[in-house]
Each structure stands twice: as C-alpha cells, then as structure tokens.
Amino acid sequence: MKEKDKATKKRAVLMTLIKLMVFVAVIWSLYFQLRNVDWEHTKGLEIKHWWALVISFILLVPNLWMEFLKWKAITKPLNADPVLVKNAFWAGVASGFMTPNGWGNFLGRLIFFQKRETIYIIFSTALANLSQLIPTLVFGLLALLLKYGNSNSWWISTSIGGAVIILIYFYGDYILPKKRSSYPFIRRLQSIHGRYQHLKSPLLVFSFIRFLVFSSQYVFLFVAFGYDDIWFLFPQIWLIYLLTSFVPSLWSGKVLIRETAALFVFAGTVVSVPDVIVSSILIYLFNSALPAFMSSFVWLPKKR
C-alpha cells in the first residue's frame, strides 16, 4: 500500500513538473512570436465598428467548442472521465500552439491516457486534424474559382491535391491488410479500426462548422475597420487559410506567414496594408495565443 502511495505521489510530482514546463514553454513561444511583429502599424488606426470586433472575439467560444466536440467524439469509445477529457483537451491546445500548424496537439493529450491508448489517440487526432483541412480545401477552391477561374494552375493543382486528401480521409484505412499482420504497429492499427470508423462523418461536420466560424471571425475584424462588403471579404479569407494551411509554421513564423499571405491576397484591393496586418495579428491573438495562454491555467495543478 505504501509503495502504491509513493508511486502515486511520484506521478503527481511528475505531472506538476510537466504542466509547469508547458506553461513556461507557452509563454516563451508567445514572446518569440510577438517580438517580431511591427507594432508601428497599430498607430493611428481607427476602429469604426466596435460591435464587429466584439462579435469576432465572442466567436472564439463556438470555435473552441467545435474543436472540443471533435475531441469528445474521439474519447467517447474510451469511456474516460469528463474532467480528464477536458484537461487533455486544454493540454492539446497548449502543445498544438508550439508545433507546426497545431498538428502536435496529440502530445499534450497523451499525458492523460495509458500507454495502450497511444496509437488510438495519435491516429484519431491526426484524423481530426485532417478533417479540418478538408473544408479549407473546399472553400479555398471556391475562392480560387471566384477570383481566377477554373483554368488557373492554382485551382487545378489544389483540386488534385484536395481530391487526394479526401480519398485518404475516407478510404485510406483500406490499405490495411485484412489478415492479422505480423508487424506489431500494423496489428495495433487493425485493432483500433472499428473505433475510429464512426468518427469520420461527425469530425467532418464539426470541422466545416468550425471553419465557417473562424472565417467569420476574420471577416468581422475587417468589418471593424470599416470594410463592409462581406461577400468580397469571405473569399479572400478562404484564400489566406488555404495558403497558410500548407506552409509549416513554428513559433515566430506563425504570425509572419499569415501576415504575408494576407498581404499577398489583399494586394491591389481597397483594403489598406495596416488594416491587413493588424487584422492578421488580432485573429492570431484571438484564436491561437489566447486559447494557449488560457490552457496553461486551466490544466495547471490546483493548490491543495
């Protein structure tokens, strides 16, 4: 009994150290991302519609909620404790913030589950991340069609790439052999096959809703600066997300890559450079920096 108590205490100490390390890492990476921002562009800007800025910020709630529902669907077969599911979600937000395009969110989640669930957590989280890429491709293709037409090389290459990704998403698991494999890793994938099959449709639905939510957030930021033509803004935003989804961005590059993509997309339009840059910084603060900062406190150990 004493040995069990000692093991429990050691695990508690280890978890505390891990959580504190993640907290420090989030603050450190946040500093390195924001130190390269040219804050001169924020001077002299006038917010014309404060209500739009408030709506953009409030939409962070359904944005995170859609992501949480995806994670909840993943953990349903595990019959995990709801508190553990919540803490694992926020840990994933923190680890995703520190990895290229957020694909490392499984790292934080794994801490809360036993080793035998590792393959399932990694694979199903990757499936969820891939599901988020599909609406980016679909709406990005629509934006390319509206802006350049279907003869443009971008549209053609994106269509081919999108078709491949959709095929992988729905039918990629068919490459697994039906007979029991002699390779341990393949056997593990075969063993979880039935657990993730039901995930594909709900993950895709949540991803489409979430994409429309964070696209609306970005649009409302431009509305806040006086650009009211949302039918013009939405395709531009979809193009920005299409461009940034395929460029790995780590730490300081996250802000700069989105800023660069936004400047490229809005070049030659009525939208001014300062408004593009500040809107790109704000969407980053709302949807990436703030959730990561919040996550550091949500799953930090409580004082006893």
What would the pLDDT profile of 94-142 be if each residue is shown by its tens digit?
878 777 666 678 787 888 888 888 888 888 888 999 999 999 999 999 9
Task: For residue 179, report the phi and psi dihedrals to the nearest 5 degrees.
Answer: -75, 150
Q: What's the number of domains the chain is made of? A: 1
What was the pLDDT predicted at 272?
87
Structure tokens, 134: 């599909």
Average pLDDT along the chain: 80
Structural domain contains residue 41: no
Query: What's this model's pTM, rounded to 2 decimal places?
Result: 0.83
Structural domain contains residue 47: no
Residue range of the domain that includes 294: 2-36+53-298
What was the pLDDT predicted at 178?
65
Which is more confident, 210 or 4? Answer: 210
Indicate whether 213 pLDDT > 90. yes
Q: What is the mean pLDDT of residues 19-48?
A: 63
Residue 195's contacts (CB-CB under 8 Å, 6 or more residues apart) are 77, 120, 124
What was the pLDDT predicted at 30?
58
Q: pLDDT-derived band of residue 62, with 50, 70 and 90 as boundaries?
A: very high
Structural domain contains residue 147: yes
What was the pLDDT predicted at 131?
94
State the SS3 of the chain: CHHHHHHHHHHHHHHHHHHHHHHHHHHHHHHHHHCCCCHHHHCCCCCCCHHHHHHHHHCHHHHHHHHHHHHHHHHHHHCCCHHHHHHHHHHHHHHHHCCHHHCCHHHHHHCCCCHHHHHHHHHHHHHHHHHHHHHHHHHHHHHHHHHHCCCCHHHHHHHHHHHHHHHHHHHHHHHCCCCCCCCHHHHHHHHHHHHHHHHHHHHHHHHHHHHHHHHHHHHHHHHHCCCCCHHHHHHHHHHHHHHHHCCCCCCCHHHHHHHHHHHHHHCCCCCCHHHHHHHHHHHHHHHHHHHHHHHHHHCCCCCC
Structural domain contains residue 42: no
Tell me the pLDDT tens digit for each residue of 154-188.
778 888 888 888 888 888 777 665 666 555 666 66
Structural domain contains residue 48: no
**Highest averaged pLDDT of the listed ranges 20-29, 43-52, 223-232:** 223-232
Structural domain contains residue 57: yes
Which is more confident, 282 or 28? Answer: 282
Least confident of 4-8, 110-114, 243-247: 4-8
What was the pLDDT predicted at 303?
41
Structural domain contains residue 303: no
Structural domain contains residue 69: yes
What was the pLDDT predicted at 253?
46
